[in-house]
Amino acid sequence: MANFALIGGSGLDQLSLLEGKVIEKIDTPYGKEPVEICRGVIDGLNIVFLSRHGTTEKKPPHMINYRANIWALSQFEPKAVIALASVGAVLPEDDIGAIAVPDQIIDYTWGRETSYNTGKEKFINFIDFTYPFDMDLREAIVDASEELDLPIIDGGTYACTQGPRLETAAEVDRIDNDGGHYVGMTLMPESCLARELNLKYAAICQIVNTAAGRGASEKGIVLDDTKEALTKATKESVNLALATF
């Protein structure tokens, strides 16, 4: 039976809904530490769950071994990969606790391993990344949200910053000028590595704060204050991902 993969972000490090849970430690060619994958069944679907930041030790966004994570997931040949990621909203009209399904990315990260190309291959894998998320999977998420009667924001550009510090107000102004709508720290290089391995990958974002210098975050951001919104939006996002599969 087909597998479906879910990647949990800071709001989701385990999936309590999983029945017949099996934890597997997957060795990868990308480092000594194995990747922990939790498999099980939800509503008759085979779900492969990855906690992006890890389960015991929590890796900050700039230290995540994205290559190992995505390679480990690919071993299960998932039909679709849906990644959850919390974000700050650049636009004041986007509500805290809302869910967004972005359709574009701008990458502001640096120093991360962004490819499986090592330079030793006989070819260079120039993947097409015009549309960074799988269009059919994104459409399926939007359709599922309509079926669930769950309001979402359809589209928008995810700006991936380096972290783990949050942005300055000037950086958010720059992101706004560049056309960014949501600020997060993890979908790059995760999404392009998934594309290199031909995985169908899309993201569901949880808006947990207004971005630095904007709206309620004008005076500063205390991420601890965002927990309630994160819990609510994460629960809804998991339901949405499952309804999509």
Nearer to ligand HPA among residue 156 and residue 184 (C-beta)? 184
Query: How far apart are CB 183 and ligand HPA at their closest, in Å?
Result: 4
Which amino acid would we find at residue 41? V
Nearer to ligand HPA among residue 152 and residue 166 (C-beta)? 166
Length of the chain, please?
245
Among 86, 145, 234, 244, interactor with ligand HPA by CB under 6 A: 86
Coil, strand or helix: which one is 233?
A: helix
How far apart (Å, rounded) are the C-alpha atoms in residues 164 and 187? 14
How far apart (Å, rounded) are the C-alpha atoms in residues 158 and 127? 19
Beta-bridge partner residues of 7: 50, 83
Nearer to ligand HPA among residue 104 and residue 115 (C-beta)? 104
Position 208 contacts ligand HPA (CB under 6 A) = yes
Position 237 contacts ligand HPA (CB under 6 A) = no
Question: What count of other Cβ atoms lies within 10 Å of the Cβ of residue 59?
Answer: 16
Position 87 contacts ligand HPA (CB under 6 A) = yes
Structure tokens at 29: 């060619």
Position 209 contacts ligand HPA (CB under 6 A) = yes
Position 166 contacts ligand HPA (CB under 6 A) = yes
> Which of 35-43, 134-142, 194-202, 203-211 is the region at the interface with ligand HPA (rule: CB under 6 A)?
203-211
Q: Which residues contact 214 (CB under 8 A, 6 or more apart)?
A: 89, 90, 92, 169, 172
In this structure, are residues 82 and 204 in contact, taking their beta carbons and an 8 Å threshold?
yes
How far apart (Å, rounded) are the C-alpha atoms in residues 242 and 224? 27
When CB distances to ligand HPA are compared, the closest residue is: 88
Positive or negative, the CA dihedral 88, 92, 96, 98 is negative
How far apart (Å, rounded) are the C-alpha atoms in residues 70 and 62? 15
Query: How far apart are CB 19 and ligand HPA at their closest, in Å?
Result: 31
Beta-bridge partner residues of 42: 45
Nearer to ligand HPA among residue 144 and residue 185 (C-beta)? 185
Query: How far apart are CB 91 and ligand HPA at their closest, in Å?
Result: 13
* Contact positions with ligand HPA (CB under 6 A) in 172-201: 183-185
Among 167, 190, 196, 236, interactor with ligand HPA by CB under 6 A: 167
Query: How far apart are CB 80 and ligand HPA at their closest, in Å?
Result: 24
Position 205 contacts ligand HPA (CB under 6 A) = no
Q: Which residues bind ligand HPA (CB under 6 A)?
A: 86-88, 161, 166-167, 183-185, 208-209, 211
